């Protein structure tokens, strides 16, 4: 059952072939079995999940109609607040924190009676590209446990890829949904900035953060967007746009779609093997009627630099609230208030978070503000302009999601800049606030690769339509040892790629 899509599971529940409690129990069992090896959950919320599933089964018994996805289990990234459920951001500084309120998306998920199976592991405060900076230990990629699942929403990606939940929720500030989706062979989408309320998402970089889903396929992704997207007065950056059905374009034909490939992403950052791989893919899709053109977007070359000024600047400000006064970790070895705050922060934050706070404080400090922060914001304007120009002529912009498949754990830890370079394809999209999806397109050395489709502001339906047609052509199979275990293989799984 764990290999099924969310919509297939929903239909089985609706048609009374299987109950929501049975579905939820199957995923809980898989979660408990695999979590000890993959470390994808910070917390499994079994009681909460089962009690929600029972509500759905009662509803069915009473002859009431279910809404789409009702009764289908889901996992939530551990930087999204659930009332009374420990929410840690995978940081020591929030250990034991139980929010007194729900994030707005949790209210929506609860209204739909989707059983919440657990809180998923992430890079500390979503700062990282490998889920290795988590205070609770690294998550592992189910395709090869010696490699990373990507990050920061690594746990959420692992959970869908290994059949621990059919849907999970992540957040994406510079690629934190799309990059792990690519590494784990699942679908991950970051909608337009402001589409989904950030109320109750613990802030990293407020002008870039956006919530989005991980799913096994594009249709599930579209259905989940229907659940998540809504105007919310509690988030002052929430966009008040007309609601739409994100599944509306799923069956639109591909023929004649105009796709742009920016040279700055495609040529500069790929080694020969990977370039050849994507060249072949593009030829294949051209034969299906997609029109590809290489274009120049000169500002994209500077996106990574601008991002690593803007995001830490916002983070250093957002993370000033962790001071040991009102919640979270407090050092007990201090005699004065300032000492207590300094020691609590120094003992509570990990190195990557401290590094970003220092970077942010640096670019915002007097003497450097104009040279770094203002300059980066001007470059951000140029990036937006380049995208705007491209969308006057093209339906979508296409690129690999990442320059390489999943890398080995520990490989990039000693060099932060090298880790940051891994997000070079995904970061420009956040700076421009655009919607983008990563869909799995195949494997290299038995590790999944992703295709990133970026669309114009609020054109999620168009992206999903194109992605759905590409998915049919690509015919990718989610077949790692955890989701489709072969007889006898589960106990003696070996590390490494053969």
Partner 1 sequence: MITKETIKHLAILSRLEFTDEQLDNFSHDLDDIFNYAQMLNEVDTEGIEPSSHAIPIQNVFKDDVVKEFPNIDKIMANAPQEEDHAFRVPKILAD
Catalytic residues: 77, 152, 176
**CA dist., res. 150 & res. 409, Å (int):** 10
In 3D space, the residue among 423, 468, 476, 393 whose CA is nearest the CA of residue 208 turns out to be: 423
Part in contact with partner 1 (CB under 8 A); list of ranges 91-99, 222-230, 258-266, 483-491: 91-99
**CA dist., res. 460 & res. 435, Å (int):** 6
Part in contact with partner 1 (CB under 8 A); list of ranges 155-163, 187-195, 260-268, 447-455: 187-195
- Candidates 47, 251, 335, 495: give the one binding partner 1 (CB under 8 A): 335
Part in contact with partner 1 (CB under 8 A); list of ranges 56-64, 223-231, 359-367, 399-407: 359-367
User: In degrees rounded to 5, what are phi and psi of residue 420?
Assistant: -65, -35
Provide, rounded to whole angstroms, the least separation between the CB of residue 335 and partner 1.
6
Say how many Å lie between the first and final Cα of the chain, rounded. Answer: 28
Part in contact with partner 1 (CB under 8 A); list of ranges 35-43, 94-102, 278-286, 439-447: 94-102
Closest to partner 1 by CB, 236 vs 487, is 236
- Candidates 62, 242, 417, 486: give the one binding partner 1 (CB under 8 A): 417
- Asked whether the beta carbons of 211 and 192 are under 8 A apart, the reply is no
349 touches partner 1 by CB under 8 A: yes
User: For the chain, how many residues are written?
Assistant: 498
**CA dist., res. 406 & res. 182, Å (int):** 8
- Candidates 67, 276, 289, 338: give the one binding partner 1 (CB under 8 A): 338
Q: By CB under 8 A, what part of segment 283-322 binds partner 1?
A: 299, 301-302, 304-306, 308-309, 316, 320
3-state secondary structure 75-142: EEECCECECCECCCCCCHHHCCCCCCCCCHHHHHHHHCCCCEEEEECCCHHHCCCCCCCCCCCCCCCC
**CA dist., res. 33 & res. 24, Å (int):** 14
Provide, rounded to whole angstroms, the least separation between the CB of residue 262 and partner 1.
17
Closest to partner 1 by CB, 25 vs 456, is 456
- Asked whether the beta carbons of 180 and 157 are under 8 A apart, the reply is yes
**CA dist., res. 188 & res. 290, Å (int):** 22
Closest to partner 1 by CB, 87 vs 164, is 87
Question: What is the contact mask toward partner 1 in residues 263 to 282, using x (rule: CB under 8 A)?
Answer: --------------------
Q: By CB under 8 A, what part of segment 152-171 binds partner 1?
A: none
231 touches partner 1 by CB under 8 A: no
Q: Are β-strands 291-295 and 436-444 bridged in parallel, bridged antiparallel, or unpaired?
A: unpaired
DSSP string, 223-249: HHHHHH----TTSTT--------TTTT
Tokens encoding 141: 């990629």
Tokens encoding 393: 């002529």
Closest to partner 1 by CB, 338 vs 444, is 338
- Candidates 365, 445, 446, 494: give the one binding partner 1 (CB under 8 A): 365
Q: Alpha-carbon Rg of the chain, whole angstroms?
A: 22
Provide, rounded to whole angstroms, the least separation between the CB of residue 330 and partner 1.
4
- Candidates 5, 146, 226, 237: give the one binding partner 1 (CB under 8 A): 237
Name the β-bridge partners of 400.
451
- Candidates 146, 361, 404, 443: give the one binding partner 1 (CB under 8 A): 361
Closest to partner 1 by CB, 41 vs 308, is 308
190 touches partner 1 by CB under 8 A: no
User: Residues in contact with partner 1, total (CB under 8 A)?
Assistant: 76
In 3D space, the residue among 469, 491, 476, 464 whose CA is nearest the CA of residue 221 turns out to be: 464
Part in contact with partner 1 (CB under 8 A); list of ranges 60-68, 398-406, 432-440, 465-473: 432-440
Provide, rounded to whole angstroms, the least separation between the CB of residue 73 and partner 1.
26
What is the three-class DSSP state of 423? Answer: coil
243 touches partner 1 by CB under 8 A: no
Name the β-bridge partners of 436.
190, 454
| Residues 6+ positions from 121 with CB-CB distance below 8 Å | 39, 40, 41, 42, 78, 90, 131, 134, 136, 137, 139, 154, 155, 158
Instruction: Determine the Cα angle at 174 with ends 204 and 211, to 5°.
Output: 65
Provide, rounded to whole angstroms, the least separation between the CB of residue 182 and partner 1.
22
Provide, rounded to whole angstroms, the least separation between the CB of residue 228 and partner 1.
18
Closest to partner 1 by CB, 305 vs 443, is 305
- Candidates 180, 194, 400, 450: give the one binding partner 1 (CB under 8 A): 194
Provide, rounded to whole angstroms, the least separation between the CB of residue 175 and partner 1.
15
Question: What is the contact mask toward partner 1 in residues 434 to 453, using x (rule: CB under 8 A)?
Answer: x-------------------
- Candidates 54, 55, 384, 479: give the one binding partner 1 (CB under 8 A): 384
């Amino acid at each position: 059952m764990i290999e099924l899509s969310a919509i297939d599971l929903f239909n089985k529940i609706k048609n009374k072939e299987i109950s929501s409690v049975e579905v939820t129990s199957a995923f809980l069992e898989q979660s408990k079995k695999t979590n000890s090896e993959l470390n994808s959950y910070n917390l499994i919320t079994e009681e909460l999940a089962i009690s929600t599933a029972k509500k759905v089964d009662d509803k069915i018994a009473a002859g009431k109609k279910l809404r789409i996805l009702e009764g289908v289990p889901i996992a939530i990234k551990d930087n999204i607040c659930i009332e009374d459920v420990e929410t840690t951001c995978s940081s020591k500084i929030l250990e034991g924190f139980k929010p007194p309120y729900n994030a707005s998306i949790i209210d929506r998920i609860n209204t739909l009676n989707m059983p919440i199976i657990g809180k998923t592991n992430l890079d500390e405060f979503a700062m990282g590209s490998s889920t290795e900076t988590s205070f609770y230990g690294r998550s592992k990629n189910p395709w090869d446990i010696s490699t990373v699942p990507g990050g920061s929403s690594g746990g959420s990606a692992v959970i869908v890829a290994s059949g621990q939940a059919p849907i999970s929720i992540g957040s994406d500030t510079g690629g934190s949904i799309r990059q792990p989706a690519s590494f784990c062979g699942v679908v991950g989408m970051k909608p337009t900035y402001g589409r989904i309320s950030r109320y109750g998402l613990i802030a990293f970089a407020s002008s870039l953060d956006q919530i989005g889903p991980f799913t096994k396929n594009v249709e599930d992704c579209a259905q989940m967007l229907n659940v998540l997207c809504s105007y919310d007065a509690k988030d002052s950056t929430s966009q008040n746009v007309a609601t739409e059905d994100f599944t509306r374009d799923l069956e639109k034909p591909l023929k004649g779609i105009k796709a742009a490939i920016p040279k700055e992403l495609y040529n500069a950052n790929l080694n020969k093997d990977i370039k050849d791989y994507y060249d072949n893919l593009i030829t294949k899709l051209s034969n299906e009627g997609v029109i590809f053109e290489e274009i120049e977007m000169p500002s994209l070359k500077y996106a990574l630099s601008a991002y690593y000024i803007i995001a830490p600047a916002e983070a250093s400000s957002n993370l000033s609230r962790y001071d040991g006064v009102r919640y979270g970790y407090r050092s007990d070895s201090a005699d004065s208030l300032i000492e207590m705050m300094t020691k609590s922060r120094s003992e509570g934050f990990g190195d990557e978070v401290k590094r970003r706070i220092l970077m942010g404080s640096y670019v915002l400090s007097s003497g450097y503000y104009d040279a770094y922060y203002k300059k980066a914001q001007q470059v951000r304007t140029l990036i937006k302009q380049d995208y705007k120009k491209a969308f006057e002529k093209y339906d979508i912009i296409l690129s690999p999601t990442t320059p390489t498949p999943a890398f080995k754990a520990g490989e990039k830890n000693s060099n932060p800049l090298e880790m940051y370079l891994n997000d070079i394809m995904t970061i420009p999209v956040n700076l421009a606030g655009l919607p983008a999806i990563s869909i799995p397109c195949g494997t290299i050395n038995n590790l999944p690769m992703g295709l990133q489709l970026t669309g114009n502001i609020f054109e999620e339906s168009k992206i999903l339509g194109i992605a759905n047609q590409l998915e049919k052509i690509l015919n990718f199979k989610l077949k790692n040892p955890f989701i489709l275990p072969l007889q006898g293989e589960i106990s003696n799984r070996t590390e490494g790629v053969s």
